[in-house]
């Protein structure tokens, strides 16, 4: 009996030793992985951009809608019609609009590819957050873009009417699109910050206590980043971006505290 039990122990040890371990990737393997991820992102971007180029008219009306909601008295005779001053102005406007649509619509793909590129250096437990990260990052990105889109009419009204009477705007198509695109991307990317804080908290890099103590610093940083990201830098835009971001900061603290409590209970039960 003792010989049989010794044989079982040796087999168990042998099996434990033979557990597959992930070897560290070399520099060339990292570059190959990065290239593969970039090819996927660029391919998806080009395909969606081609589709957006074909369906240009609905996209154009979607972008012009916030401008058309501004009172006509502030926009002059042209109203919400856009102008271009160069021969290539119309083509560049269409090209930029389709590129912006491609970048936004493929955000689930390139956000996931960023996470997938990081996961080889993570543990098995951390890798299970890949899909929740991709979904939540896309939702937050779209939420930030939606906030930007909804506040655009009021923001444009404020910026156009600030000069007072006797000054009529002549809005160029490319310049207007640059403004809308920067607002959309700026709000979308800023709304990703709470998600980054959450995963830093899961990794143990930041703690709930530290986030609580640094509330004042967080407010200053949020306002500063909002001022850098938004192209208009008017008080209304800063307020619209800063308030939701701070609320998301508090929500991140709350969710992280709940997750940490559940982790502690799970460890205690084991």
Hey, where are the domains in the chain? 28-269
Nearest to 171 by CA among 49, 70, 55, 62: 70
- 3-state DSSP: the chain helix, strand, coil percent, rounded to 5? 80, 0, 20
pLDDT value at position 177?
92
pLDDT at residue 58, rounded to an integer = 92
CA distance 168 to 159: 12
**What is the 8-class DSSP label of residue 170?**
-
Give the pLDDT of the chain (270 residues) as one tens digit per residue. 555 555 555 554 544 444 444 445 677 777 887 888 899 999 999 999 999 999 999 999 999 999 999 888 888 788 889 998 888 888 999 999 999 999 888 887 887 787 777 665 555 665 666 677 778 888 888 898 898 898 888 888 888 887 777 778 888 999 999 989 888 888 888 888 888 888 778 777 788 888 888 889 989 998 888 888 776 667 777 888 888 889 989 998 998 888 888 877 777 776
Tell me the two tokens of residue 184: 């959309």
CB 44 within 8 A of CB 109: yes
Taking the CA atoms of the chain, what radius of gyration do you get in angstroms?
25
Q: Is 203 helix (H, G, I), strand (E, B) or coil?
A: coil
Pseudo-torsion of CA 240, 243, 248, 251, nearest 10°? -150
Q: Up-side HSE of residue 70: CA atoms within 13 Å toward CB?
A: 24
209, 201 Cβ separation under 8 angstroms:
no
Query: What pLDDT is stored for residue 19 in this prediction?
Result: 45
Helix axes 173-190, 56-68, angle to 10 degrees: 90
76 and 163 Cβ atoms separated by less than 8 Å: no
Give the position of tokens 């955000």. 107
Helix (H) or strand (E) holding 216: helix 215-229
How far is residue 98's CA from residue 79's CA, in Å, rounded to a whole number?
24
Which one, of 191, 189, 184, 193, lies nearest residue 232 by Cα?
184
In angstroms, what CA-CA distances link 221 with 84, 182, 244? 38, 19, 14
Q: What is d(CA 95, CA 53) in angstroms, rounded to the nearest whole number?
A: 7
What pLDDT sits at residue 20?
A: 46
Separation between Cα atoms, residue 262 and residue 267, nearest integer Å: 9
- Calpha distance 106→47 (Å, rounded): 10
pLDDT score, position 270: 63
Q: What is the pLDDT of residue 64?
A: 92
Which of 193, 255, 201, 184 minimizes the C-alpha distance to 223? 193
Q: Whole-angstrom Cα distance, residue 237 to residue 148?
A: 9
């Amino acid at each position: 009996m003792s010989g049989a039990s010794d044989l079982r122990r040796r087999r168990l040890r042998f099996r434990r030793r033979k557990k597959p371990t992930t070897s560290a990737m070399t520099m060339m393997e990292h570059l190959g992985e990065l290239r593969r991820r970039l090819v996927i992102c660029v391919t998806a971007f080009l395909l969606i951009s081609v589709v957006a180029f074909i369906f240009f008219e609905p996209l154009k009306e979607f972008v012009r809608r916030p401008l058309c909601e501004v009172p006509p008295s502030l926009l002059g005779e042209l109203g919400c019609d856009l102008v271009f001053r160069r021969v290539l102005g119309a083509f560049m406007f269409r090209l930029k609009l389709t590129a912006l649509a491609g970048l936004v619509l493929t955000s689930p793909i390139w956000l996931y590819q960023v996470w997938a590129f990081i996961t080889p250096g993570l543990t098995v437990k951390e890798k299970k957050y890949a899909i929740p990260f991709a979904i939540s990052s896309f939702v937050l990105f779209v939420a930030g873009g939606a906030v930007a889109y909804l506040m655009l009419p009021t923001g444009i009204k404020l910026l156009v009417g600030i000069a007072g009477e006797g000054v009529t705007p002549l809005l160029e198509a490319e310049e207007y699109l640059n403004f809308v695109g920067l607002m959309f991307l700026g709000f979308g990317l800023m709304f990703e910050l709470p998600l980054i804080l959450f995963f830093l908290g899961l990794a143990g890099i930041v703690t709930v206590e530290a986030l609580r103590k640094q509330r004042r610093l967080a407010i200053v940083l949020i306002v500063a980043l909002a001022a850098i990201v938004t192209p208009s830098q008017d008080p209304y835009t800063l307020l619209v971006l800063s308030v939701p971001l701070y609320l998301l900061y508090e929500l991140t603290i709350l969710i992280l505290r709940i997750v940490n409590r559940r982790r502690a209970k799970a460890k205690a039960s084991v």
